[in-house]
Amino acid sequence: MQLATWNVNSLGVRLPQLLDWLKAHPVEALVLQETKLTDDKFPQAEIEAAGYHVVFHGQKTYNGVALLSRSPATDVVRNIPGFADQQARVIAGTVNGIRVIGGYFPNGQAPDSDKFVYKMGWLTALREWVRGQLAAHPELVLMGDYNIAPDDRDVYDPVAWAGQIHCTDEERTHFQQLLGLGLSDAFRLFDQPPKIWSWWDYRNLAFRKNQGLRIDHILVSQALVPSVQSCEVDKPTRKNERPSDHAPVLVTLSR
DNA sequence: ATGACCCCCCAGGGGGGA
């Protein structure tokens, strides 16, 4: 079975692509980020007609997350418990015994900004919550748009991006601390070719020049590592006529 | 080439993304 994450950059715009994508990629579960829809406008009927259960947590204009699954998700959680947050960034549920957590991590804007301070606090709250989730659910996947490029290998121009948002030591330390909970970056469980990204700027002909970052990740718990068969970025979806700036990322499990 | 986008808001430009 496959699990996947995709920052769709407006589900209102991308719904037809999502429905096409699900036909071509009948994944067991998919988390979405940047749906940018309040819950009353969420296209639940269309997604259910495509054969998926769905739970969601949105807001106007910004952020918004959803969890689609072939079987219903149970124990659904919206946002990080105990962390007061005006922004809709997390949705979690248990699907076929696997705890699936989808996150739209804060961007952070710039290392000297208030938004960076928020990003750091959010990451700390997420880590402490996920620590408990792992104790309760040994089979766990934490996936989404992390807005962190974990390593210089994940950046098309690491010199130009050194110290910039997504690439600061503080963000990378947070990523390592998530791994320290007992999670593994599914993509790095395998030898990978260089220059694999999950996001390409709309500007500067970035996709055509393959100038991007790998900031969308699937972290799996140790109990799941033996069943991970592959982890791939679905780059062709970024070539669609009216694409999101992110490509989906998929993990394949032997179950 | 010192360029180059897209989506939201909601009606002319501004905020945000990464």
Residues A56 and A40: beta-carbon distance below 8 Å: no
Choosing from A52, A62, A104, A201, which is the catalytic residue?
Answer: A104
When pLDDT is averaged across residues A32-50 and rounded to a whole number, the result is 97
pTM value is 0.97
Q: Which residue out of A75, A112, A145, A216 is catalytically annotated?
A: A145
Maximum alpha-carbon separation in chain A: 47
Q: pLDDT at position A28, please?
A: 98
pLDDT tens track for A118-162: 999 999 999 999 999 999 999 999 999 999 999 999 999 999 999
Q: What is the pLDDT of residues A187-242, one digit of tens each?
A: 999 999 999 999 999 999 999 999 999 999 999 999 999 999 999 999 999 999 99
Of A43, A47, A27, A142, give the one whose Cα is nearest residue A92.
A142
- Amino acid letter, A234: D
Is the shortest CB-to-strand distance from A61 to strand B under 7 Å? Answer: yes
DSSP codes of every residue in A120-171: HHHHHHHHHHHHHHHHH-SSEEEEEE-----SGGGBS-HHHHTTSTTS-HHH
Dihedral of alpha carbons A224, A229, A235, A237, sign:
negative
| Mean pLDDT of the A29-41 span | 97
Residue A191 falls in the annotated catalytic set: no
| Closest C-alpha among A31, A28, A56, A12 to residue A244 | A12
pLDDT at A255 over 90: no
Strand B nucleotides below 7 A of a protein CB? 4-9, 16-18
Look-up: residue for tokens 């991970």? A228
